[in-house]
């Protein structure tokens, strides 16, 4: 066993990747990611103590958020980036330790190794990263390991959302506090199983706050998403394809490509950028090109122009297009050109991408037409009376939440078939890239209401919760679980984990996850979720539709 990772849905054999990640990351990269998490826990030992003395260090907060984001599935495959980050971590840890002591903090005795370990030589990094005290398997007890990893993956997802908000100038120190407290909890041997369960549920609470923070950042900066028809064809100009999730990068790219003769297209999870009013003023913003993240190898080759990867969702590229891919932010891949972070008060410099685009042929057309989206809570609540009337009249029998992630496994064809076979009196509520399994199907509408309501990116799952709570109020119900809503959610990576924990915190029960349940849930932990929240898996389309609609 040269590594161990089971943080994503596609983990090898449904148990864990031990030689190379199914995602494509090499064992040394996986181990270096674990080492970075290890160092973050050591930093958090000091930052949580410093916070008790009134010290709030924004450098520490930002470093931890960015570092956690780097370790999310399909975000960064470059070992050198992680080594650099670990070295930076030593400096950050030293600064917060010094602040703590200078403020009168008592010297901490019996510190965990993650708060003291330091190295200079590359061989020392390798040795530590491969040691038994670093990584998932450092925890022997299966149930504690399961809860610690569930908490860690929820925190990673939360870090992604707060990272986007931070880029727009929005922050919530309480979330930073919990993230660091949670990291320390994963090395606290005194915590019982019950205490860890409590922290996992608390993670859901802060997940709601993180998604709310990002929704506020996005809408106050770019306006509330509007119901929009999005072009999926191409024009005859050279283009730049932007993928990922970061709307600040989207804004700066659009500004810098204005009047250059270069068009901009979204891809994957950047599709919902087409719904924001602020971006509609750009005449060279054409629409969306392609589908979900896992089809990059096919679609990026055909695009012809440069591609900008702003967050996770990158996969190991083929030589046919690798030289045209740029990374930025937390994203990294060996040999790819990287756009540095913006300096304070300045934009990122995308001039190199624009220069390349001008020399490239226009994208090849892979499809034509339009898709509709923009059904975030602000728009749906504006239609609330119409929706409630449809529910009361029986025109809408049930809503089915099919939010979440897409993936490569053939078993995910289930979600396409499920959408096709749902009765005509049902409506799908979605967010995230899971929608690419059915958002281009002609599923019709109910009294002018489309049968697929796309709220946006995976982080916009918050909108679906707001919609549910508003419907509960308007229908005069006491419990969100009394609503005619079923949850059939596809998951893939750690942002889906925090969405799940947020829904559990809000009291939502009977959530079904697929195509498989997380490998990091031990049998006992899975049983707790089943007994307390009635979480389940999926079986086959016909039986599941019958179950959801009964």
Whether pLDDT at 110 is above 90: no
378-549: CATH, from 3.40.50.2030, 1.10.10.10, 3.30.1300.10, 3.40.50.80: 3.40.50.2030
Exposed / middle / buried, residue 306 (Cβ in 10 Å: 0-12, 13-18, 19+): buried
pLDDT at 344: 87
Residues whose CB falls within 8 Å of the CB of residue 182, separated by 6 or more in sequence, listed in order: 151, 152, 154, 155, 199, 203
- Residue range 221-231, pLDDT digits in tens: 999 999 999 99
Phi-psi region of 449 (alpha: psi -120 to 50; beta: other; left: phi over 0): beta
What Cα–Cα distance (Å) separates residue 32 from each residue in 42, 87, 193? 15, 12, 28
DSSP string covering 381-412: HHTHHHHHHHHHHTS--EEEE--B---S-GGG
Q: Report d(CA 351, CA 57) in Å as an integer.
A: 34
Q: What is the DSSP letter of 285?
A: E
Q: Report d(CA 237, CA 260) in Å as an integer.
A: 10
What does the chain come to in residues?
550
At 369, is the secondary structure helix, strand, or coil?
Answer: coil
C-alpha triplet 513, 165, 210: angle, nearest 5°: 45
Whether pLDDT at 278 is above 90: yes
Q: What is the mean pLDDT of residues 541-549?
A: 96
Q: What is the mean pLDDT of residues 94-122?
A: 93
Contact of 245 with 324, CB cutoff 8 Å: no
What Cα–Cα distance (Å) separates residue 483 from each residue in 2, 67, 382, 499, 510? 48, 39, 19, 19, 12
pLDDT at 405: 95
pLDDT at 542: 97
At 507, is the secondary structure helix, strand, or coil?
Answer: coil
pLDDT at 107: 85
CA dihedral 201, 206, 207, 212 (to 10 degrees): 140
Architecture of domain 228-358: 3-Layer(aba) Sandwich (3.40)
Whether pLDDT at 248 is above 90: yes
pLDDT at 63: 98
Please report, for the chain, how many H helices and E strands are present, in that order.
Answer: 17, 15
Q: Report d(CA 111, CA 126) in Å as an integer.
A: 22
Give span(s): CATH 3.40.50.2030, the chain.
228-358, 378-549
pLDDT-based confidence at 244, cuts 50/70/90?
A: very high
* Closest listed residue to residue 305, CA positions, set 291, 285, 326: 326
pLDDT at 1: 87
pLDDT at 346: 95
> Which of these ranges, 103-112, 405-414, 432-441, has the smallest mean pLDDT?
103-112
Exposed / middle / buried, residue 169 (Cβ in 10 Å: 0-12, 13-18, 19+): exposed
Whether pLDDT at 459 is above 90: no
Give the residue carrying structure tokens 């049902």. Answer: 426
Percent of the chain whose pLDDT exceeds 70 = 100
Alpha helices in 168-246 (DSSP H): 173-185, 193-222
Backbone angles phi, psi at 386, to 5 degrees: -65, -40
- Residue range 321-367, pLDDT digits in tens: 999 999 999 999 999 999 999 998 899 999 999 999 999 999 999 99
Question: 326 - beta bridge partners?
Answer: 308, 337
pLDDT at 38: 98
Whether pLDDT at 13 is above 90: yes
12-221: CATH, from 1.20.1270.20, 3.40.1010.20, 1.10.3720.10, 2.70.180.20: 1.20.1270.20
Contact of 426 with 394, CB cutoff 8 Å: no
Q: What is the mean pLDDT of residues 282-294?
A: 97
Contact of 97 with 352, CB cutoff 8 Å: no
Phi-psi region of 444 (alpha: psi -120 to 50; beta: other; left: phi over 0): left
pLDDT-based confidence at 46, cuts 50/70/90?
A: very high
pLDDT-based confidence at 106, cuts 50/70/90?
A: confident
Give span(s): CATH 1.20.1270.20, the chain.
12-221
pLDDT-based confidence at 86, cuts 50/70/90?
A: very high
């Amino acid at each position: 066993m040269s590594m161990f990772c089971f943080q994503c849905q596609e983990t090898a054999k449904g148990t864990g990747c031990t030689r190379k990640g199914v995602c494509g990351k090499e064992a040394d990269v996986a181990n270096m990611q674990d080492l970075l998490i290890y160092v973050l826990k050591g930093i958090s030992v000091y930052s949580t103590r410093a916070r008790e003395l009134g010290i709030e260090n924004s450098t520490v907060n930002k470093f931890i958020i960015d570092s956690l984001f780097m370790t999310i599935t399909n975000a960064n495959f470059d070992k050198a980036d992680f080594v650099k980050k670990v070295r930076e971590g030593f400096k950050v840890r030293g600064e917060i330790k010094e602040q703590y002591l200078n403020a009168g903090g008592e010297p901490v005795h019996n510190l965990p190794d993650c708060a003291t370990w330091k190295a200079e030589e590359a061989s020392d990094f390798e040795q530590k990263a491969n040691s038994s005290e670093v990584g998932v398997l450092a925890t022997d007890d299966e149930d504690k390991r399961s809860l610690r990893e569930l908490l860690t993956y929820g925190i990673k997802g939360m870090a992604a959302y707060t990272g986007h908000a931070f880029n727009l100038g929005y922050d919530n120190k309480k979330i930073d506090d919990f993230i660091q407290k949670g990291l320390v909890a994963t090395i606290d041997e005194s915590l019982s199983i019950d205490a860890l369960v409590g922290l996992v549920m608390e993670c859901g609470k802060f997940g709601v706050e993180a998604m709310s923070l990002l929704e506020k950042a996005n809408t106050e900066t770019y306006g509330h998403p509007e119901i929009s028809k999005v072009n999926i064809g191409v024009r005859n100009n050279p283009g730049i394809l932007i993928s990922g999730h970061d709307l600040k990068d989207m804004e700066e790219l659009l500004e810098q490509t204005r009047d250059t003769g270069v068009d901009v297209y979204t891809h994957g999870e950047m599709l919902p950028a087409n719904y924001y009013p602020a971006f509609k003023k750009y005449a060279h913003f054409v629409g969306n090109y392609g589908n979900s993240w896992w089809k990059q190898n096919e679609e990026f080759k055909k695009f012809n122009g440069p591609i900008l990867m702003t967050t996770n969702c990158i996969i190991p590229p083929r030589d046919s297009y690798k030289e045209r891919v740029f990374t930025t932010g937390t994203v990294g891949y060996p040999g790819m050109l990287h756009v540095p972070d913006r300096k304070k008060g300045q934009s990122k410099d995308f001039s190199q991408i624009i220069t390349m685009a001008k020399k490239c042929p226009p994208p090849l057309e892979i499809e034509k037409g339009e898709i509709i989206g923009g059904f975030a809570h602000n728009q749906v609540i504006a239609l609330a009376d119409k929706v409630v009337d449809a529910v009361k009249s029986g025109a809408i029998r049930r809503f089915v939440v099919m939010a979440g992630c897409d993936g490569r496994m053939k078993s995910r064809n289930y979600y396409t078939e499920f959408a096709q076979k749902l009765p005509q009196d049902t409506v799908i509520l979605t967010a995230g890239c899971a929608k690419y399994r059915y958002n281009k199907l002609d599923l019709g509408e109910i009294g002018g209401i489309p049968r697929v309501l796309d709220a946006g990116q995976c982080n916009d799952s918050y909108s679906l919760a707001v919609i549910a709570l508003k419907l509960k109020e308007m229908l005069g119900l006491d419990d969100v679980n009394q609503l005619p809503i079923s949850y059939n959610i596809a998951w893939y990576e750690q942002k889906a984990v925090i969405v799940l924990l947020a829904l559990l915190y809000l009291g939502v029960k009977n959530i079904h996850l697929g195509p498989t349940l997380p490998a990091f849930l031990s049998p006992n932990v899975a049983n707790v979720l089943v007994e307390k929240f009635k979480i389940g898996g999926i079986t086959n389309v016909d039986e599941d539709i019958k179950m959801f609609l009964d």
